[in-house]
A and B are shown apart, each in its own frame.
Chain A
Amino acid sequence: GAVVSQHPSWVICKSGTSVKIECRSLDFQATTMFWYRQFPKQSLMLMATSNEGSKATYEQGVEKDKFLINHASLTLSTLTVTSAHPEDSSFYICSARDLRGRGQPQHFGDGTRLSIL
């Protein structure tokens, strides 16, 4: 089945640090990847849609300068949390959709738990 690899799985760093999270589709190509944020015991909140070769589309209320997204290839998208602060601590999950698109499920990475001290 389709596999999405997300790395790292856990990050602990000091306030003010920038953190990069990678999301890779391992056995399929994805023109579009998605980044979600999940607070404890809550649902997933869509942050942005990452499009290969073009700018990401951010959901309302998500700071694009804070959460930088790059989708350099059909198999890799990165999310950089810039100058992270404790309120950015959360569980971040990426997903990717097969090129075939419509009617296809999203395949999720295992998430990255980000803790900012």
Chain B
Amino acid sequence: SQQGEEDPQALSIQEGENATMNCSYKTSINNLQWYRQNSGRGLVHLILIRSNEREKHSGRLRVTLDTSKKSSSLLITASRAADTASYFCATDRVYNFNKFYFGSGTKLNVKP
């Protein structure tokens, strides 16, 4: 990818379980964002976390950011079959907040 890697590449869980995805990036950032993509569709913005924040919540989503390790994690609690999608992290550059670079993505499959 242009910016970093995500792991796992694929994750399969049962409905009701929690799903954790990790993202690592290469350069210093202003913001990190998580997006979701259903197959063959565009991306939907989930959550943005700024470089001076360590944790953020939105509904069943919890995002953490560790700038010293250049990594972030996305936790989806009590997963549902409808959460099945690919999840990408995206980062800007500290000297250019305008461009986003995407991680390699995690394909999540939630089995009913």
A interface residues, Cβ below 8 angstroms from B: 4, 6, 32, 34, 36, 41-46, 49, 59, 91, 93, 95, 97, 101-103, 105-111, 113
Query: Once the chains bind, are A44 and B88 in contact (CB under 8 Å)?
Result: yes
Q: Does A46 contact B100, Cβ atoms closer than 8 Å? A: yes
Contact B42 A111 (CB under 8 A): yes
Closest to A102 in B: B97
**Shortest Cβ distance from A96 into chain B, in angstroms?**
11
Complex partner residue of B2 from A46, A102, A103, CB under 8 angstroms: A46
Contacts of A106 in B (CB 8 A): 33, 45, 90, 100
5 contacts between A and B (CB under 8 A): A4-B42, A91-B40, A106-B33, A106-B45, A113-B40
Please name the residue on chain A nearest to B105 by beta carbon. A43
Binding site for A on B (CB under 8 A): 1-2, 30-31, 33, 35, 40-45, 48, 50, 88, 90, 97-105, 107
- How many A-B contacts at CB < 8 Å in the complex? 65
The residues of B that contact A41 with a CB separation of less than 8 Å are 107
The docked-state distance in angstroms from the alpha carbon of A101 to that of B99 is: 11
B42 adjacent to A109 (CB under 8 Å): yes
When distances are taken between beta carbons in the complex, the residues of chain B under 8 Å from A45 are: 1-2, 102
